[in-house]
Amino acid sequence: LLCDGYARAENPYQAHLLKVLRDRGSLSRAAMSETIGLSRTKVSVELDRLAQLRLINSGGLAPSLGGRRPAIVGTDPDVRFVGVDIGATSVDVAVTDGELRLLGRLSDSINVRQEPDMLSQELGCPVMVDNDVNIMALGEMHAGTARSVEDFLFIKLGTSIGCGIVLQGQLHRGPSGSAGDIGHLQVENLGPACACGNVGCLEAFFSGAALERDALQAARSGQSPALADRLESTGFLTAVDVGVAASSGDPVAVALVRDGARRLGQVIAALVSFINPALVVIGGGVANLGHSLLAEVRSVVYQRSLPLATGNLPIVLSGLPTQGGVIGGARLISDAVLCAPRSAAP
Amino acid sequence: LLCDGYARAENPYQAHLLKVLRDRGSLSRAAMSETIGLSRTKVSVELDRLAQLRLINSGGLAPSLGGRRPAIVGTDPDVRFVGVDIGATSVDVAVTDGELRLLGRLSDSINVRQEPDMLSQELGCPVMVDNDVNIMALGEMHAGTARSVEDFLFIKLGTSIGCGIVLQGQLHRGPSGSAGDIGHLQVENLGPACACGNVGCLEAFFSGAALERDALQAARSGQSPALADRLESTGFLTAVDVGVAASSGDPVAVALVRDGARRLGQVIAALVSFINPALVVIGGGVANLGHSLLAEVRSVVYQRSLPLATGNLPIVLSGLPTQGGVIGGARLISDAVLCAPRSAAP
């Protein structure tokens, strides 16, 4: 559909039906009627029109439960969404089907500062742009641990630090679109200078860039033999090297992970008290530091937040470390395309 | 209506019409039809039914604009809502009309710990209960500065400290109802012991209770002659006394207000970066400390939050210092009563 034009829902009923099929997979007409609270007659009229538009396929059969196999409806196998996740240093592109299952993907390195508007050129199909943290949060909502909750925070630890905020199943962006900008929350009165001009920012202590700076310093000063060896063999150090050195017991690397995780935990504790989420998911490249990161964060949050907010609060690492962004990008554009034009409201 | 039973909307259209009249006041049938996007015929059918139920009055006439005076519809003059604001030490009760305008109010002192369930007894009408911060936020939304925005934070400085969070016009409570619990966010690594068992909590530094503690200490130690005089004449000290002493230039009182406001500002700066509100309103008894409080808070927030989040961000004192809670309580129950039962959905 991408190549020879695209179809979209003509009214809110069709939009709702398509979203149900995207999120729940194939269903019988009876189940769809029940889910969206419309009569079976009305549902059938809209489904027949969607089949004409080649947005759904109504010829499927569910597995037999003993008798006749019930007819089911699903998204058309030719429906495609494309999700693109542009990081500071790389771009991921993925193609999905109508249920946002990955069909194929490509990754390449780019310098985002040199070609920021590369993808905004005419593509001949609808395009949406959002920041990386928000699309990763949408990916968690669609296909990750957050699928089962309405309110959650997605913390991205990467080159920078940010938070995706999902409340009542909706991404909260704020009036100027800057919601979730937690990288510059102050965690110490003093500390390394931050790119924003302040000192004491979380990001100046614990982003990928901050870890690389501290790891280089520890390697060059001889404080960390493990990091010095790694630097000598590869010529550079990343957050992954800090994680490997910490796992091997290097005391400086262990302290870098623990101190950073403690500061991150302080921030998450405040966010949890403030917004009372049902789940916190931590993702992004620096989340690869692994379970000592998670243990320290949990310890601080469970100690600093009130029991009412943490009683049932899981804090987990993302189960979609490399796919969350592109699935979320596909979710974003599918929401926009499946949304009926306002003028067609009943 | 409170005395001889109560009527409520029978379907979502009626609920919507009643909420429009509550929030915008009397309107012509044409304006109502346009506002809710229903045909004038359908609007008239529902308005006639609401008049039968004695929920609206359709006999009014708008002022002449030169020709015939247009007929307008408004909430019935006999419609009543009751808002109750229970604090730690006092209870306020107010009766409003259908547009939530105050018709009368009563205040009395109570000890909330002794009679927490006093109002939950059978009253013969629908009752809703929420915490004081949330109903004060609803009051700001209905009748205060926040009327014009969709996303705002209401910070209550009283015996304790809390935050009401309104996003997209809806109060955000969180899955366990503890959202906005900012009194125990950590603002210092060390500090006075807090009732919650931690140290360094905002509330242990700057609640009404904390200010009273510090004011007594300053009066008894002789550090503050102004507070010592006040203590001798009245036998006790409150946040108001600290405000008066600060206004008169007493250095200890000035420092108490400035230090407390700085810590409050740090917390608000983090919340602003995180949630990107369009407005911050500060209310509650301790907000009476006045404009030096506001100046210090603004200074910290504008310095610590990113320009994108603070560019258009007003930080103001509540314009409803004594009415916000009861108006918000009336708003809460009116929302519940005006909401049609789910089974009547079209």
The model's pLDDT over A142-170, given as tens digits with 9 standing for 90+, comes to 999 999 999 999 999 988 899 999 999 99
Q: Identify the pLDDT of residue B118.
A: 56
Interface test with B, best of A176, A267, A301, A308 (most B CBs within 10 A): A176
User: Which helix or strand (DSSP H or E) is residue B253 part of?
Assistant: helix B251-275
Check if the beta carbon of residue A13 is closer than 8 Å to that of residue B346.
no
- The verdict on B275 touching A (C-beta cutoff 8 Å) is yes
- For B:130-169, CB contacts with A below 8 A are 149-151, 163, 165, 167-168
Residues of chain B with pLDDT under 50: 1-4, 116, 342-346
Own/partner contacts of A190-199, CB < 8 Å, gap of 24 or more, are A196/B306, A198/B303, A198/B304
Q: Identify the pLDDT of residue B4.
A: 41
Cβ-Cβ contacts under 8 Å, A304 against chain B: 184, 186, 198
- pLDDT score of A326 more than 70: yes
Q: Identify the pLDDT of residue A116.
A: 46
Give the mean pLDDT of chain A.
87
Tokens of A78: 């030719």
- pLDDT score of A342 more than 60: no
Q: Which residues in A24-46 are b (16+ Cβ under 10 Å) and which e?
A: eebbebebbbeebebeeeebbeb
Cβ-Cβ contacts under 8 Å, B272 against chain A: none
Q: What is the pTM of this model?
A: 0.82
Q: What is the ipTM of this complex?
A: 0.78
Give the pLDDT confidence of A50-60 residue by residue, as tens digits. 999 999 998 78
Q: Identify the pLDDT of residue B2.
A: 37
Give the pLDDT confidence of A284-321 residue by residue, as tens digits. 988 888 778 999 999 999 988 888 888 889 999 999 88
Check if the beta carbon of residue A86 is closer than 8 Å to that of residue A132.
yes
Q: Please count the other Cβ atoms lying within 10 Å of the Cβ belonging to residue A240.
A: 15
Give the pLDDT confidence of B220-264 residue by residue, as tens digits. 999 999 999 999 999 999 988 999 999 899 999 999 999 999 999
Distance set, CA A325 to CA A92, A131, A133, A230 (Å): 8, 10, 8, 30
Residues A258, A297: Cα–Cα separation, whole Å: 9
DSSP SS3 for A246: helix
Give the pLDDT confidence of A48-90 residue by residue, as tens digits. 999 999 999 987 888 777 788 888 999 999 998 888 887 777 7
Residue A344's pLDDT band (cuts 50, 70, 90): very low
Give the pLDDT confidence of B253-267 residue by residue, as tens digits. 999 999 999 999 999
Q: Identify the pLDDT of residue A346.
A: 36
Q: What chain A residue is nearest to B189 in terms of C-alpha separation?
A: A188
Q: Identify the pLDDT of residue B63.
A: 78
Distance set, CA B157 to CA B161, B164, B203, B239 (Å): 5, 12, 9, 10
Q: Which residues contact A121 (CB under 8 A, 6 or more apart)?
A: none
- The verdict on B269 touching A (C-beta cutoff 8 Å) is yes
